Each structure stands twice: as structure tokens, then as C-alpha cells.
Amino acid sequence: MKKINVGIIGFGNVGSGVVRILRERRTMLSGKIGTQINIKKIVDANITTKRNVSVEKCLLSKKVSDILDDPQIDVVVELIGGIHPSKEFICEALKKGKHVVTANKALLAQHGKELFALAQDCGKRIYFEASVGAGIPIIKSLREGLVANKFNSIFGIVNGTSNYVLSSMSGKNCSFSEALREAKQKGFAEKDPTFDIEGIDSAHKLIILIFLCFGKFVDMSEVFIEGISSISISDINYAKELGFSIKLLAIAKREGDSLEVRVHPTFVRDSHMLASVDGVFNAIYVSSDLAGDLLFYGPGAGQLSAASAVVSDLVDLTQDLKAGMFRPTLNSIQDASIKKLRKINEFESRYYIRFSALDKPGVLATISGVLSKFGISIASVTQKQRAKAKSVPIVMVIHEAREKNLRQALEIIDRLNIIKEKSVAIRIEDI
């Protein structure tokens, strides 16, 4: 039986999961693919901490050169994350004639174009199924299963931490800080969760999806990003009353000859499938011209879920090697009908707006007067409570308005002496 040798850089949570699957499912995998996937070396900065899988000491090393300089190793699996030194390791592996499997969405989002070009020049491939949606087979589906399709839009819940926090706030009626604390306690959030809750991780994944669907690499600076840290339990509850759920969505949407690229909290109608995606689960909803609307759903994080995607890439690679076939990493063709990326000020959307205002006559008239000057039409308005409090919440839903006009109106409104706190505006998507 043919054998391929694998070197794994990174023996953390996902790395140990990959080793565990390759060990425990060795016979099954060999029987299915007719090839033995052999772990030849595992490199990590820490090789003494006990993992949930046992390996022979001779397989462990702290020296990456033990993998990169070994001519018998066919594939390098990079699972340390981050930009540096991951980028340098992958470049060196390709130059030394090794294929690469990675789960590194940040690296691919920021340097994917360069890395894929290098892989092409070296006659090697980069496999990256685990970079988006963990075990959800979204990369393979977009690249192969939907190869004849043109895409209209992507709406993705692609960060498990943020989705868990929002789901906890909704289900347990708790504050953002309480929900985040619980996520950390359960291991669903990093010690520093900034990348997750501020939408950066979602933006990385969105960039990869955009390339697969539209053939265009978008720079991080071109993605509008807004996180969930300003969402309050009041917003969650008002959304429920209006028939919506709040989700952090990664969105790429074609509008005429332009593409909108954004990540932000979004009101999603409760009747839509995305509204029911709770906890650490992910879902990617894509609209295509031939296959129609499709939803890909599953755990967006977790050791074995992500490791499953890495092993899937290894299996794909073995089949290519057996066939003696070279397939370019990405043979995506840019959609020529898309001429530009829309700036945030050009976006148009319906909005939910929450004001905190003094409870006195004329407040609503003053607010609506400012909105009217910017051509913003109100669909509904509710003053939620009349109490002895110094301020009361006023909740509005407005008809579709241009982002630039709304932001200018809110700047003026927030400076009024009747407004006690910065207004909150959340976009509504009618998916």
C-alpha cells in the first residue's frame, strides 16, 4: 500500500485531534483511500504537556527543521495559527517540495494571494478546509460541488464565540459581560476574545469565502467590521418583540455591478433558518443562480470538528498524489460583472435604532425632524416605558436608508441635550 508521510507543526488542541483521528481511524482510512497516512514527525514548542492522545517520544520535536528539511515528508500540516512564523514555515515547505494543509484563516485572509501563487509556482497545493466553519465542508462544496454556479450573496454565522454570547444573552436574559464570562469558563472564548467579539475572525473567514465565490481577494481594510460588544440585553429583548434575533453576520452581497463586504450585528427575522443557529454552531447561507439557496450548518469549533476537516484535506491530497495529478490550489475566476466594492457610506439598509432620551413632550418630534432632514422615513416607533427614570428608551425601525445619511443624522441627534446616551443602530437584513 502506498504511504504518504506527514509532518505536523502544532500539537495543541486541533493538532492532537488530528493525531488522534489518524491513529484511531487508521485502518478505516487506509481501507477507504488505499493509502496509509503516516505521521513522521510532530513539532511543538511544548512537547512535555500531556495530551489526550499518546505518541512515541521519537515523533516529537521542538525543531521545525526536523520537518522542513526531511525529504521523506510529503505534507506539512500547519496548525499553530497567527501570521508569523506560520507564513515563513508554509513558504519554506512549498519551496522544499511539500504540500501544505492549514487551518490558518488569518494567514490566508491576509496573505493568501501570495501563498497560493507560490504554491502554483512550486507545483504544490495548499489545502484549507478547516479555515472556515471547522468540520462544515463549505470550502469543498463551494469549490467543487457548486463549481458551475454564480453567487449572489453570502450570509454567514462563522464565529462560535460571538454566537454563543448572543445566544446566551437571548436564552438566559443576561448581560453581554455575563455571557462572555460564561463563554470563557466553558472554554468557548479565548482569554483575550477581541478577535472574536469584534468581528475580526469573521472578517478573515469572509475574505476566504469571497475568493471562492467571486474570485476576488479583498483586503482587510476593505471590509466594514463592527463587533457585538455594544449590544445590550435591551436590544436583544426589543428584537424579540419585533420578531427578530440578533446575529453577528459576515455578509458579501452583490448589488448591481458592486459587492458589499461587511461584518456586523444584524437583525435576522425569526422565520429565517439563520435565526435558529445557537451556541457555538456556525451556518453559512449562500445564494446561487443554479443550485438556489443553500445552508451549511454544523459545529464551528471544537477539537475533533476542526481536526475532521484537516483529515479530509489529507485524504484529498492522497488521492491527487496517487493519481499523479496536480490541481491548482484555487482555479477561481473573478466575476467580471463585479466592477467595484461598495464603501460603507454607500450601503443601504433598514435599521433598528434605540435612543435614550428625556421623557418630556416634543422629544419624538425633535428626533423625527432630524431624521426627516436626511430623507430617513420611520416605519415604527415605540417609547418603551414611562417611569421616574431620568431617561427612557425610544425604539425605532426605519425604512431603507443610506448609511451615510443615517450616520450624519445620528451625530446631530446624539449632540442634543434631550439625548442621554449614544444611540444604537443595528442593520436589518431581509434575507
Q: Are residues 293 and 351 in the same domain?
A: no
157 shares its domain with 290: yes
pLDDT given for residue 324 in this prediction: 79
Instruction: Evaluate whether residue 335 is within a structural domain.
Output: no
Same domain? For 114 and 169 the reply is: no
Considering the domain architecture, whether residues 72 and 51 belong to the same structural domain is answered as yes
> Can you give the pTM of this predicted structure?
0.95
Residues 166, 293 within the same domain: yes
d(CA 131, CA 10): 15
Could you give the CA distance from residue 248 to residue 290 in angstroms, rounded to a whole number?
27
Point out the catalytic residue in the list 98, 124, 205, 247: 205
Compute the distance between CA of residue 401 and CA of residue 376 in angstroms, rounded to an integer.
6
Please name which of 58, 129, 110, 121 lies closest in space to residue 306, comparing C-alpha atoms: 129
Rounded distance between C-alpha atoms, residue 53 and residue 307, angstroms: 13
Residues 161 and 52 in one domain: no
pLDDT in the model for residue 87: 98
> Can you give the pLDDT at residue 262?
97
What CATH number is attached to the domain comprising 182? 3.30.360.10
pLDDT at 332: 66
What CATH number is given to the structural domain containing 70? 3.40.50.720
Same-domain status, 422 and 311? no
Rounded Cα distance, 382 and 178, in Å:
28
Same domain, 280 and 410: no
Same domain, 95 and 202: no
- Rounded (5°) CA angle 379-381-385: 165
Is 355 in the same domain as 309? no
CATH code (residue 392): 3.30.70.260
Domain-embedded: residue 415: yes
Q: What does the pLDDT profile of the chain (431 residues) look like in tens digits? A: 789 999 999 999 999 999 999 999 999 999 999 999 999 999 999 999 999 999 999 999 999 999 999 999 999 999 999 999 999 999 999 999 999 999 999 999 999 999 999 999 999 999 999 999 999 999 999 999 999 999 999 999 999 999 999 999 999 999 999 999 999 999 899 999 999 999 999 999 999 999 999 989 899 999 999 999 999 999 999 999 999 999 999 999 998 899 999 999 999 999 999 999 999 999 999 999 999 999 999 998 788 999 999 999 999 999 888 887 766 666 667 788 888 999 999 999 999 999 999 988 899 999 999 999 999 999 999 986 655 567 899 999 999 999 999 999 999 999 999 999 999 999 999 99
Which of 147, 152, 109, 149 minimizes the C-alpha distance to 131? 109
Same-domain status, 113 and 178: no
Is 331 part of any domain?
no
Domain count, the chain: 3
Residue 265 lies in a domain: yes
- The reply to whether 336 falls in a domain is no
Which of 264, 299, 334 is where one domain is finished? 299
Domain assignment present for residue 287? The answer is: yes
Domain extent, residue 72, equals 2-134+303-323
Q: Is 205 annotated in the active site?
A: yes
Residue 329 in domain: no
For residue 115, tell me if it sits in a domain.
yes
In contact, 251 and 153? CB cutoff 8 Å? yes
Whether residues 119 and 59 share a domain: the answer is yes
Q: Where are the beta strands (DSSP E) in 138-275?
A: 151-157, 224-225, 244-255, 258-269
281-288/151-157 β-pairing: antiparallel
Query: Which of 270, 288, 323 is the C-terminal boundary of a domain?
Result: 323
